[in-house]
Amino acid sequence: MLDGYMEHEDFAGHRGIIGPGDIQWMMVGRGIMHAEVPVHRDQQGNALPIPQGLQLWIDLPVEAKKADCSYQEYASQHLPMQTPRASEPKETEGEGWSIKVISGQSHGVESPVRLPKNGGCYFIDVQLQPGGWLFQDIPHTWNAFLYISDGSIKIGDSNETYGQHHVLALSNPGLKTDTAEEAKNVLSNQDGVRIANVSDKPARVFLIAGEPMDHPVVQYGPFVMTSKKEIFEAIDDFQLSRNGFERAANWNSEIAKRLRH
């Protein structure tokens, strides 16, 4: 959550409210049913900030697609933060930045979020003061992109400036582009990325990087598998409340019940 509050609940019994800086991390596995609604007023009826957040959907490795579902939730203060380390050379450490590591690791700190085997993911919240910059390592061959939430930045040695709400795809050594136009729109990774704030206002950037997977992806509605056959099997499992969906039979969230009254 960037601001405001969301109430959530699932059929495995996880329930609560997350607020600014908090995260929830669900691994769907064989399946999960989940409800969430924005919270606009507190218990006294006072107006709360308009909820704003980021939601990222990540494909699972084949071996994790039929694992039991799991849920992780961390309050903002329980996620690792880091600022430039005096023990590291400024030429490589950068200056004028702070980061929160939502998943993965960065600059000597590591997120408590547990990830499935072969499903590595970096999700890093980068805040840059005017003139600030940092270099973020990215594992060799991983796919990566940046989302600019606020301000404007430059990447690497490029002279081009990118502003708020831009999404920037980074290359990796294994990436192939079909056309010169596609190549122009992909920024060099080189096992990491240098991000610099070139404005006189603070900038905020989210860096997402993931371990590549080479299996086919077949999606239908909320189901994501590796073949049409598996999609049909998942739909049958959901309709028949089996193979991970046993708790889905006749489940109604308390959120839905309350909203109906």
pLDDT (tens digit, 9 = 90+) per residue, 194-241?
A: 999 999 999 999 999 999 999 999 999 999 999 999 999 999 999 999
Q: What does pTM read for this prediction?
A: 0.89
pLDDT band for position 181 (cuts 50, 70, 90) = low
pLDDT on residue 190: 59
pLDDT on residue 116: 95
Mean pLDDT confidence for 147-153: 97
Mean pLDDT confidence for 11-15: 93
Helix H, strand E, coil C: the string for the chain is: CCECEEEEEECCCCEEEECCCCEEEEECCCCCCEEEEEECECCCCCECCCCECCCCCCCCCHHHCCCCCEEEEECHHHCCEECCCCCCCHHHHCEEEEEEEEECEECCEECCCCCCCCCCEEEEEEEEEEEEEEEEECCCCCEEEEEEEECCEEECCCCCCECCCCEEEECCCCCCCCCHHHHHCEECCCCEEEEEECCCCCEEEEEEEECCCCCCCEEECCEEECCHHHHHHHHHHHHHCCCCCHHHCCCCCHHHHHHHC
pLDDT band for position 259 (cuts 50, 70, 90) = confident
pLDDT > 90 fraction of the chain, expressed in percent and rounded: 83
Mean pLDDT over each residue of the chain, to the nearest integer: 91
* Residue 176 to residue 168: CA distance in whole angstroms: 16
Instruction: Tokens 């329980």: give the residue.
Output: 78
Q: Does the structure show a pLDDT above 70 at 136?
A: yes
pLDDT on residue 138: 93
pLDDT on residue 45: 94
pLDDT on residue 46: 96
pLDDT (tens digit, 9 = 90+) per residue, 17-57?
A: 999 999 999 999 999 999 999 999 999 999 999 999 999 99
pLDDT on residue 175: 56
Mean pLDDT confidence for 78-100: 96
Nearest CA among 252, 213, 251 for reference residue 65: 213
Mean pLDDT confidence for 85-90: 94
CB 93 within 8 A of CB 133: no
pLDDT on residue 111: 98
pLDDT on residue 100: 98
